[in-house]
A and B are shown apart, each in its own frame.
Chain A
C-alpha cells in the first residue's frame, strides 16, 4: 500500500470522526467507527484517541503517520450521526474513491437542520409540556411556551456571535428569569418556579452530564471528565444569569414571590 493511499484513508476516517464528534456522538462510537473504517481498508495498526475537544489518529508502524483534529464546538444533531453511520457502512462494503468519499462527507457536514421557525416552535412546545409534567397550571404553560422561544432564539444568536457558550447561556438565563418576574408582577403568571422549570429545560446540560458519566463508565476517562466539566460549567452559567436577575429584582422592588 502506498503512503498516499494510507493518507487518504486516514483523512476520510478523520473527517467522518470529526462530523460524528461535532454532532454529539459518544466517544466510543467515534473511536470504533474510525478503527473499523481503517481496518476494512487493510490498515491494521491504526490507533484512534478521541476526546470531546480533539481527535488523534495514528498508524503505529514505522512509517507511522498521524493526524490531529481540534474540535471547538459541539452540538447535538442526531441526523448527521445517523448519516455518517450509513456512510461508514457503505465505505466498508464498497470501494469508494477518495474524492467521492470526501464529497459525500462534506455534503453530510453541510446539511442543514430543520427550519429555524420549526425548531423555535417545537422548543416552545417541549418546554411548555415539560412544565406541565412538573405540575404547572394553564397560564404558566402559556408563559413557558412563549418565554422559552424567546430565550432559545437569544441563545442561538449569541452563540453564533461569540464562541464561548458561557455568555449565551447566562444571557438567556437572565432573560428567562426577567420575563418570568415581569409576568408574575403584572399578575399573569402563577408560579415563577414553574415558568422557570419549563423555559430553562432546552438550556440545561442534563444530557451532557449523562453522556459524561456514560463515558466514565465505559472507561473513556478523559472524555468523561471533559464532558462532566462542560456540563457543570453550563449549569453555573445559567445559574449566574438567573441568580443575578433574581437578586437585583429583590433589591430594587422587594420580594415578589
Chain B
C-alpha cells in the first residue's frame, strides 16, 4: 500500500476517534493530521529499520511535537491532540490477542504478545514524555521568570 493511502486512512480513522473522544470541533482536523502523520512516519521508518518498537518511538516523538505545535496554534491543551494522535499506534489489538491466547492456554504466545504490547506502549509513553519535558525546559530557558511549576498548566 502506498504511503499516501496510509496517510489518508489513518487521518480519517483518527478523525473518527476524535469524535468519539469529543475533541472540540475546531481541533478535529489538527487531531486527525497528528494521527495521520504519526502513522505514516511509523510505516516509513518501520520499512527502513524493520524494528517495530523503534519506529513507534520515533513516530510518537513526531506526534508529541505536532501536539505541542497545534496546542500553540489552537490554544488547547496538548492532550487534545496527543490522545487521538497515538490511537493508531497504540497496541490495543495486540493486548486483546494476548488475552485471547491466555484464555486458550497458549501461554507462550500470550506472553510474547503481552510483552510486545507493553514494549509498544512503553515506547509511545517515553516518546511523548521526552517531548513534553523538552518543551517545558525550552519554555523555562526562554522566560526564566516563570516558575517551572506554573508551566505544567499549559503543557
Contact = CB atoms under 8 A, between A and B. Distances in A.
Interface string B9-50: 110111111111111100100000000000100000000000
Contacts of B96: 200, 204, 235, 238-239, 242
Interface string B67-99: 000000000110110011011101111011011
B93 A197 contact: yes
Contact of B95 (A29, A127, A204, A240): A204
A209 B80 CA distance: 18
A218 B24 contact: no
B118 interface: yes
Interface string A212-231: 11101110000000000001
Interface size classification for chain B: 35 or more
Contacts of A119: 19-20
B129 A217 contact: yes
A36 B152 CA distance: 9
Contacts of B126: 217
A163 to B, nearest CB: 21
A210 interface: yes
Interface in B124-155: 124-126, 128-129, 149-150, 152-153
Interface stretch (A5-13, A46-54, A59-67, A76-84): A76-84
B152 to A, nearest CB: 5
A88 interface: yes
A240 to B, nearest CB: 7
Interface string A110-139: 000110001100111111011011010000
Main secondary structure of the interface of A (DSSP, over half): helix
A217 B124 CA distance: 11
B22 A243 contact: no
Interface in B103-141: 103-104, 117-118, 121-122, 124-126, 128-129
A13 to B, nearest CB: 13
A221 to B, nearest CB: 14
Nearest to A210: B121
Nearest to B95: A235
B58 interface: no
Contact of A207 (B1, B13, B15, B86): B86
Contact of A209 (B76, B117, B128): B117
A238 B103 CA distance: 11
A122 B22 contact: no
Contacts of B23: 78-79
Given A130-B13, A133-B39, A213-B124, 12 more contacts: A76-B21, A76-B22, A79-B23, A82-B80, A126-B15, A129-B16, A207-B86, A207-B87, A209-B117, A210-B90, A235-B99, A243-B100
